[in-house]
Amino acid sequence: MIQIPQNGRTEDERLSDFLLLLYMIGTHHRQSRRYLGITKADKFVFLAEKRMIDNCVQGFDYDFYRWNFGPLSPSIYADIETLQKTSMVTRGANIQLTERGRKTLEDCGSLFEANQVVVACIDEVVRRFATKTTEQVASHVYEVEIEYPMGSKKIRDIPRGWELLKKLPVQKATRRFDIPESWKETLELLLDIEYADRLDKTLTQPSAAGAHPFGGAD
């Protein structure tokens, strides 16, 4: 049985992946009412990351492998699950932002503005494919050519289990998604599942009407 390895990411890479996933989900639903399931989201990230790598831009940091339905990155599935558990995105099959997810994107607006070169790659993919069905997006991806040890081939012709895309090494990047140190602690807290669970319980208690989750007084 072929086993797909989990790619190792630094904490900075993990945080940028979470933010860019949120951005991609929000951008998709602003442009289209089409269903956004995990398969379609996986393909969107693949197309955006390939565009980033082709332009020496470090944004998404996922490794992709040829699997049953084209490119697959197990880490995306794990990250979507974390976003669900921290109430950033809905738990249904159609992935959408929750109110907390929308508020996080809004609060991080200046980060996206400062990293326009990176988010532009996501914008271009979403603009082109947001109104397409999952099947149409998958069909397009199958036709993408990839360099792998046996030469250049379309993804549909590459055997299952082969690596299709590897995250761009830092030393090869001319631009990267930069998160200032002042933001990192807040983002790490927002993505902490135990903290999110405690916060949800606090906010649903009758006495929480005037509570301030991050402390402080009126």
In a domain, 166, yes or no: yes
In a domain, 212, yes or no: no
> End-to-end CA distance of the chain, in Å?
59
In a domain, 134, yes or no: yes
**pLDDT value of residue 36:** 97
Identify the band that residue 216 occupies on the pLDDT scale cut at 50, 70 and 90.
Answer: very low
Helix, coil or strand: residue 29: helix
**pLDDT value of residue 81:** 95
In a domain, 101, yes or no: yes
In a domain, 62, yes or no: yes
In a domain, 47, yes or no: yes
What is the pLDDT averaged over residues 125-129? 97
The owner of tokens 């012709």 is 157
Q: What is the sign, positive or negative, of the torsion defined by CA atoms of 52, 82, 103, 216?
A: negative
- Residue 56 sits in which domain range? 11-199
Distance CA 29, CA 25 (A): 6
Domain count, the chain: 1
In a domain, 214, yes or no: no
**pLDDT value of residue 217:** 35
93, with CB counted inside 10 A (0-12, 13-18, 19+), is exposed
In a domain, 91, yes or no: yes
